[in-house]
Amino acid sequence: MENRGGAPSPHLLFVTSPMQGHINPVRRLAARVAAAGAAVTVSTAVSGHRRMFPSLASPEQRGYEVVGTLRDLFLALDEHRPKVLVNTFDALEPDALRAVPGFELVAVGPVVPGGASPSTTDLSLRDDDDVNGYMEWLDTKAARSVVYVSFGTILAVSKRQELETLQGLKAAGRPYLWVSRKVAEADGAELDGTGAGIMVEWCDQVRVLSHPAVGCFVTHCGWNSALESIACGVPVVAVPQKFDQPTVAWLVEECAGVGVRAQADGEGIAERGELQRCVETVMGDGEAAVEIRTCAAKWMERAKEAVTGGGTLERNLRAFLSGF
């Protein structure tokens, strides 16, 4: 690929962790970089999926083995001091983007497909038949009435947390869609006999969050999930587990004002009564709920402005590529 001046355009190599939550955001970013005029290659390895972070699959393991890998990464950054592309947008984290001396942090987010239509660059773990099951179920629900629950696909929450979540959802008395990798044999099944909630093994999260029936997202506050909820304007109940998730939960509640964080007990469990309280806080008719929904709508518009043509995403990418 060449630019108008005849000089070759930069060719960027994107190397991603072999997990869907990493591959799809990188593919979306690569598509935007290509649209800005660069050649791109995206690389990953299936073999890496079998080797990476085995301790993260169980809630009994704390995942400390990853610390050494992250240390090596930051040591390399200290040595080379490159530009760092960050999946955020300027309006959301202006101070954080300027808080690290010696590094140029370039905001290139939110790396989220637009609207209810899945990105053509995304890879899916399921076919359209699976999509239709839960999307059609959502079509039967009133606007902003459904609680969407997902704690991510990498880390496993404890059995007690699952039980407390289920009981909290029942007590809240609202329809809910719960995504859990543990229910392959019961995909699309009702969680109880009331018809109030269903559980699926996988869903297209952005399509779910874009559906008008969804009024709340109970999430572990992984960064992808947090940005997707902000981009879709869905209020959040944050139930962080580990790593950066408590920090992301703080940003959601204190900085953006788009949700509340469930307080955990001494064992790190968000109990049923607390979850019920949080769901009511963001979905009810009180002043707090109105304020949270107003903030969610505001940040959705700001996220749209960032990714619209001529927005900060396009300007930042073009400035980044001009440095090659």
What pLDDT shows up at residue 186? 47
pLDDT digits (tens, 9 = 90+) for 229-247: 999 999 999 999 988 999 9
- How large a percentage of the chain has pLDDT more than 70? 80
* Between residues 156 and 87, the one the model is more confident about: 87
Q: What are phi and psi of 12, to 5 degrees?
A: -105, 135
Of the candidates 164, 189, 167, 170, the residue with the CA atom closest to the CA atom of residue 179: 189
Q: Which of 47-61, 291-305, 308-322 has the highest mean pLDDT?
A: 291-305
Question: What does DSSP assign to residue 189?
Answer: E
| Lookup result for tokens 């773990």 | 125
| Lookup result for tokens 């009702």 | 190
pLDDT digits (tens, 9 = 90+) for 80-119: 667 889 999 999 999 999 998 878 899 999 998 864 444 4
What pLDDT shows up at residue 125? 53
Alpha helices in the chain (DSSP H): 20-35, 46-51, 66-80, 128-139, 159-172, 205-210, 223-232, 245-250, 272-283, 287-307, 312-321
Report helix, strand or coil for 91.
coil
* Cβ count near 157 (within 10 Å): 20
Average pLDDT over residues 168-175: 97
Question: Computed over its alpha carbons, how large is the radius of gyration of the chain?
Answer: 20
pLDDT digits (tens, 9 = 90+) for 9-30: 899 999 888 777 788 899 999 9
Average pLDDT over residues 290-311: 97
CA 238 to CA 213: how far, in whole Å?
A: 19
CA 43 to CA 27: how far, in whole Å?
A: 10
Of the candidates 228, 224, 283, 278, the residue with the CA atom closest to the CA atom of residue 253: 278
**Contact at 8 Å (CB) between 202 and 130?**
yes
Q: What are phi and psi of 237, to 5 degrees?
A: -110, 110
Q: Which long-range contacts (CB under 8 A, 24 or more apart) does 40-47 make?
A: 40/11, 40/12, 40/13, 40/14, 41/11, 41/12, 41/13, 41/14, 42/14, 42/16, 43/13, 43/14, 43/15, 43/16, 44/15, 44/16, 44/17, 44/18, 45/18, 46/18, 47/18
**Contact at 8 Å (CB) between 241 and 155?**
yes
What pLDDT shows up at residue 19? 76
Residue 127 has pLDDT above 70, yes or no: no
Average pLDDT over residues 152-166: 88
Domains of the chain: 11-113+305-321 (no CATH), 128-304 (3.40.50.2000)
Give yes or no for a cis peptide into 110 (omega within 30° of 0). yes
Residue 192 has pLDDT above 60, yes or no: no
Report helix, strand or coil for 40.
strand
Q: Which residue type occupies 319? A: A
Residue 187 has pLDDT above 60, yes or no: no
